[in-house]
Structure 1
Amino acid sequence: MRSAAGTNESLTWNCRGLGNPATVREVRELANKFALAVLCLVETQLDSARAEILSLSFGYNKSFAVSSSGRSGGLVLFWNNEIKLEIQGYSKYHIDAIMSELGTVPWRLSCIYGEAKVADRYKTWDTLRSLAGTSSLPWLAMGDFNEVLRQSEHDGVSLRSQSQMDSFRDALDVCCLHDLGHSGLPWTFEKKVAGGSFTRVRLDRAVVDAVWSSLFPSAQLDHVASACSDHSPIVLNFSEELMKIKGARPFK
């Protein structure tokens, strides 16, 4: 999300490593193009100090990062001084924050990076469940969950495990979260496989609770093309003219 006149947007992106100059350049271009108020990157493959150094390059003066484990994982959140954002907690799977400047009440923003190993994916769902019990504020969680909710979100040479999808749905049900929907391409991850075909999967999404939906009934999530990653950035827009909140305080 970067504040600009009439614009309130956030972007979450599995950038697959910030060590590549082309990726850094694309992140900078995305931040400028969409006038993002808050930017979250996952799978940074960097330690927290190095990830935070990039904040000025992207046009931000605030950041919070979780170090990667070797060449795996890593999350970083960027924002500016005019955004009132308070970090509440973090792990290798999430950064949890409270937003106090948009809307009539504070709300939660959780940036998620789902466990890549299928056998350990339950750890991501356990993290979500634990987060649900820490606050009663309206809740938005977005990022790369590394899982789908239904078979139609996986187009490839093999079927998705039913038990994997059930575990994801069960976690969202416990947390009272539902998928926000999207526009654009039906998938957010694309990989070429043997024989020249592609596997295309919707791994990245935003999920919200009913109270957050009522605060921002016209919020829109878009899938954006990327030149540097096999994941698509996802951009959430809830700009001033879209908000249906009486007395809402816009970003300036």
Structure 2
Amino acid sequence: MNCLSWNCRGLGNHQRVPELSDLVKAKGPKVIFLMETWKKKSYLERLRCRLKYGNMFIIPRRNLGGGLALLWSNDLNLHIRTFSPRHIDAVINLGIDDAWRFTGFYGAPEVANREDSWSVLRHLGLQFVLPWVCVGDFNKITRVDEKSGGAVRPEKQMQDFRDCLDVCGLKDLGYLGLPFTWCNRRYNEALVWVRLDRAVATADWILKFPTACLHHLPGSSSDHKPLWLVSDDLQTRFNRAQKPFRFEAIWLKDERCEGVVHSVWDKSSSGDPVSKVLRKVGVC
């Protein structure tokens, strides 16, 4: 797994394309997911050629804003399954035992449309059962400590996002780097930092890529930081045995342990019995 995700807020900025080119050269991602491209197909085709990627799928911009693009290398067996202005869903290694699922996601920035975003994500969660990772700008936080400065986000909005992730069996992969991915850049006024961008995955995807790690990369040309999701076992993952879940006895000494288990196991979940258990274990 080697993926780059970035809300670039308009690729027309003269600094953003060189910065993206430098990131591609340094990280060598097999997949690039871009949000808020703001550009026409002809411009994005020239970008694809400049970055030397063999394949690209585009969700056109709406009026002068929006737009999504997924680029991937020729040596990656990737098939687009579904798409919308909010997502591009793909299967990698379709038809073989090693198949898994990648979704680039862009949540609605408007609070009034936030529930539509979660409806899209819940619908994707019901499509089919494969190890699944979802990366992008969700435009929402799950906890108050994912925001610094500005007004406190309503608890209900955060709970709605957490509930959606739980229903889909998606677990936050965490990150390395600075804790926030977006800044309002009002350095002389009320500065606000928020973790809007993230990667989430199902328990079976995490077992498939146990060393996968999300990096918050430094970036200067956009108000969002690029995300780099990479596994350090790229050459050996096909032969790596899956690690079984192990319960750690020391967890029982934490007074929160029983409450966490009860809160997860008492929630209803869709799917077959094995998938339900895997999701609940992942959430725990």
TM-score by length of 2: 0.80
Deviates more, 1:52-61 or 1:12-21: 52-61
Q: Take 2:117 and 2:212, find their aligned partners in 1: how far apart are those partners?
A: 25
SS in 2 for 1:121: helix
Runs of 4+ in 1 over 4 A off after TM superposition: 241-245
The one-character-per-residue Cα deviations of 1:64-114 (angstroms, maximum 9, x if unpaired) are 01011123221101112111100001000000000118x952000000011
User: Which residue, 59, 64, 71 being the options, matches 1:71?
Assistant: 64
Residue 142 to residue 243, structure 1, CA distance change in 2 (3 Å): farther
Q: Take 1:48 and 1:94, find their aligned partners in 2: how far apart are those partners?
A: 17
SS in 2 for 1:198: coil
Q: Take 2:57 and 2:73, find their aligned partners in 1: how far apart are those partners?
A: 12
TM-score by length of 1: 0.90
The one-character-per-residue Cα deviations of 1:107-144 (angstroms, maximum 9, x if unpaired) are 00000011011111111110001111111011000000
| Counterpart code for 2:164 | A
| Counterpart code for 2:139 | N
Structure with bigger gyration radius = 2
SS in 1 for 2:142: coil
1:54 matched to 2:39: no
User: Which residue, 5, 24, 27 being the options, matches 1:31?
Assistant: 24
The one-character-per-residue Cα deviations of 1:179-218 (angstroms, maximum 9, x if unpaired) are 0000100000011348534100000000000000000111
Residue 27 to residue 195, structure 1, CA distance change in 2 (3 Å): closer
1:100 matched to 2:117: no
1:230 matched to 2:223: yes
SS in 2 for 1:16: coil
- Runs of at least 5 residues in structure 2 that lack an aligned partner in the other structure: 242-284
Q: Take 2:80 and 2:98, find their aligned partners in 1: how far apart are those partners?
A: 17
1:80 matched to 2:73: yes
| Counterpart code for 1:22 | Q
Q: Take 1:37 and 1:59, find their aligned partners in 2: how far apart are those partners?
A: 11
Using CA pairs under 8 Å that are at least 6 residues apart, name the structure with larger relative contact order, 1 or 2. 1
1:240 matched to 2:233: yes
1:91 matched to 2:102: no
**What's 2:120 paired with?**
127
1:207 matched to 2:204: no
**What's 2:156 paired with?**
163
User: Which residue, 3, 11, 18 being the options, matches 1:10?
Assistant: 3
SS in 1 for 2:239: coil
| Counterpart code for 2:73 | N
User: Percent same amino acid at aligned positions?
Assistant: 38
RMSD: 1.9
Give the 5 Å matches for 1:177-196: 177-193=170-186, 196=189
